[in-house]
Amino acid sequence: MTRPLLQVKGLTKRFKEREVVKGISFSVAEGSCAALLGPNGAGKTTTISMLAGLLQPSGGSIELLVNGSPVPDRRPYIGYLPQTPVFYPWMTGKEFLLYAGELAGLKSREAALETAEWLEDVGLKDAGKRKIGGYSGGMKQRLGLAQALIHRPKLLILDEPVSALDPSGRKDVLSLLQRIRQETTVLFSTHVLHDAEEICDEILMIREGEIALAGSLDHIRRTYSEPVIRLEVGGDEASRAWLAAVGSKDFVSQAETSGGRAKLTVTDVELASLALMADAVAHRVMIRSLEAGQSTLEDLFLKVVQS
Amino acid sequence: MQFRLFFRKEMLEMGRSYKWLWVPLVFLMLGVMQPIVTRFMPEILKSAGNMPKGMTISIEPPSGAEVLAQTLGQYSSVGLLILVLSFMTIISGERQSGVSQMIFSKPVSYGSYTAAKWASMLSLITVSFALGYAGAWYYTVQMIGSVDAGAAVKAGLFYLLWLWFAGSLTLFMSSLINPAAGIAFVSLGAALLLSMASGWLPRYTAWSPGSLPQISAEWLQSSGEAKGAAGAAVLCLVCMAILFTGTIYQVKLKKSKI
């Protein structure tokens, strides 16, 4: 299952003078789940819109490979959920799904079957009879997922699917995605790292319209994670001074100190933590907490974004 | 296939937003008012009460054809306004709200999408105008006097063509720009300019779609043949076809607002 499904080469988008997406290339393997990560304004939505066929690229190519050969029109094979899905408020949820299914090319009987099934799956069985005008944000998001999936697409493209939801809505949508990704290849954009870590296996970080980092989540973790010690000391003058001085020890390669806390990137966690504790005892400094571990994806993200 | 689907949705939307109720009603009211007001004008003036004593007003009773022509005049102002206002966001509204993003990421045909909007709009215009015109005709015959049936039908058909043209123009503007006010302003402005131009420069605008309202009025009032009628009708249909093609192209070009 490592055949590429989506292949993007040199994708570029210019709006007048401004180049928003600067020739990005990547591919998404069949059966994988890829996250397009980046800060706000990095060009995520623009990229997604081009993939969904809503925006004409200024340059480059997008190919969807079905059974190994590129298809001329990729719309029948993709399902797309925009950032804030908007529906016809005067339709009921059920009517909209039927409409979406038939637009996607299903026969009316198939559409009715799929509608019933998806309404059940996204937990809108009862709400399906009501007008969409009265739906909450989470319900709209779930209905949006159902309309994107109703024709069983090969690739599901989602733009910030959970960013605007409250915690319980987030959990609902994420667990739905967990289930969907067993059957469908998923590509979604987000600026929330935690969501990406939870369901994805491929990461594409983009910054100012360029790919800053790409690869599988495991690989990125292995390659870029560094041993880190997080240290917190008491608030008195002596402890603060000690904490500031610790940053210049030779086993510390990078130190960030703020208030009574420090994040130290070290060469060897075990040696460093022993040395730190001994040093603290010698200076009669009270350590409130000491945590030895690896840098998280978030640290990496911040590093990529800020560099 | 998809045309039927889109068309059904447009009809349903027009039904649920009560457009199928109020647009025909407004047209019926506009049509019926003209003969009734004309018939009772002397009484209305008498009961106005602020006339100097002893003043007499004699109003020459107009002919039925004249009253029907005046009704068409009503449609040229208020009727046109209603049409443009009720159709101005028919395409831009979906683009602005974002529904179009979901529609156009599905394998849909832009031609069917546009054609369904166009056809549903034309059917509402046709039904509304037919109802209003029939009402006007009926009351004119009852209260004012008879009207030559052939002339009335011909005039009505030519006027309907003019309304179709105005609708197609609004649809095109709706696909071209987003702000509703801009769409209404440009569509109404262009329609008014066209019809005024055919009053000022009749020589150059003999076949312009803007001369259609005048042709209908002429047909009613002087039972003779109106000049350039066939040419104007053909040119109007050609313009509508061009506007329609332009609309499809714009819909395809501007699928969403991003």
CATH number of the structural domain spanning residue A233: 3.30.70.100
Higher pLDDT, B227 or A21: A21
Residues A204 and A26: beta-carbon distance below 8 Å = yes
CATH of the domain at A205: 3.40.50.300
Burial A181-194 (b: 16+ CB within 10 A, else e): beebbbbbbbbebe
- For chain A, give percent helix, strand, coil, nearest 5: 40, 30, 30
B258 part of a folded domain: no
Contact B188, B78 (CB under 8 A): no
Chain B positions in Cβ-Cβ contact with residue A73 (cut-off 8 Å): 107
pLDDT in tens, B168-221: 999 999 999 999 999 999 999 999 998 888 888 877 777 888 888 888 888 888
- Where helices occur in chain B by DSSP H, the ranges are 2-16, 19-39, 41-48, 64-74, 80-87, 92-97, 99-104, 110-143, 149-176, 180-200, 212-221, 229-253
Q: How far is A274 from chain B (nearest CA, A)?
A: 55
Q: What is the mean pLDDT of residues B222-249?
A: 86
Q: How confident is the model at residue B223 (pLDDT cuts 50, 70, 90)?
A: low
- Which residues of chain A neighbour B105 with C-beta distances below 8 Å? 52-54, 75, 78-80
Contact with chain A for residue B105, Cβ under 8 A = yes
Q: B105–A52: do the CB atoms touch at under 8 Å?
A: yes
Average pLDDT, chain A: 87
Domain limits for position B9:
2-253
- pLDDT at res. B38: 87
**Residue B28 domain flag:** yes
* Shared-domain flag, residues A293 and A157: no
User: A32 with A196: CB under 8 angstroms?
Assistant: no
Q: Does B257 touch chain A (CB under 8 A)?
A: no
Q: Which two tokens stand for residue B75?
A: 């449609």
Among the candidates A199, A223, A247, a domain finishes at A223
Neighbours of A257 (CB within 10 A): 15
Domain hosting A102: range is: 4-223
Question: Model confidence over B152-174: pLDDT tens digits?
Answer: 898 999 999 999 999 999 999 99
How many structural domains compose chain B?
Answer: 1
> Are A233 and A212 contained in the same domain?
no
Q: Which residues of chain A are at the B interface, by a Cβ-Cβ cutoff of 8 Å? A: 45-46, 49, 52-55, 73, 75-76, 78-82, 84-88, 90-91, 99-100, 102-105, 144, 147-148, 151
Distances (CA, A) of A253 to A268, A272, A296: 10, 11, 17
Residues in chain B with CB shorter than 8 Å from the CB of A88 are 13, 99
Same domain, A216 and A233: no
Model confidence pLDDT, tens digit, residues B74-93: 899 899 999 999 999 999 99
Nearest to B9 among A79, A99, A147 (CB): A99
The total of structural domains in chain A comes to 2
User: Does B120 fall in a domain?
Assistant: yes
pLDDT of residue B216: 87
Asked if the model's pLDDT at residue A262 lies above 90, the reply is no
Residue of A nearest to B13 (CA): A90
Residue B258 pLDDT level (bands cut at 50, 70, 90): low
Residue B216 lies in a domain: yes
pLDDT of the residue at A127: 92
Do B25 and B129 meet the contact criterion of CB atoms below 8 Å apart? no
Using CA atoms, how far apart are residues B175 and B169, in angstroms rounded to an integer?
10
Structure confidence by residue, pLDDT tens digits, A273-306: 888 888 888 888 888 888 888 777 777 777 777 7
Q: Is B17 on the interface with A (CB under 8 A)?
A: yes
Sign for the CA dihedral angle at A193, A195, A201, A203 comes to: negative
Contact yes or no for A105 and B107 at CB 8 A: yes
Q: In this structure, are strands A155-159 and A78-81 parallel, antiparallel, or unpaired?
A: parallel
Residue A231 contacts residue A264 (beta carbons within 8 Å): yes
Which residue did the predictor score with more confidence, A94 or A248? A94
Tokens of A73: 């029109």
pLDDT at B225: 65
Shared-domain flag, residues A212 and A232: no
Of B2, B12, B101, the CB nearest to A82: B101
Co-location of A162 and A272 in the same domain: no
Asked whether residue A56 falls in the same domain as residue A205, the answer is yes
State the smallest CA–CA distance between residue B5 and chain A in angstroms: 8
Check whether residue A13 and residue A52 sit in a common domain: yes
Asked if the Cβ–Cβ distance from B107 to A73 is below 8 Å, we say yes
Position B224 scores a pLDDT of 61
pLDDT for res B48: 72
Look at residue B19 and tell me if it is in a domain.
Answer: yes
The burial class, CB within 10 Å (0-12 / 13-18 / 19+), for A28 is buried
Closest CA to A301 of A188, A159, A173, A205: A205
Collect all residues of chain A within an 8 Å Cβ-Cβ radius of residue B116.
none
**CA proximity to A11, closest of A163, A219, A204:** A204
Shortest Cα distance, chain A CAs vs residue B94, angstroms: 9
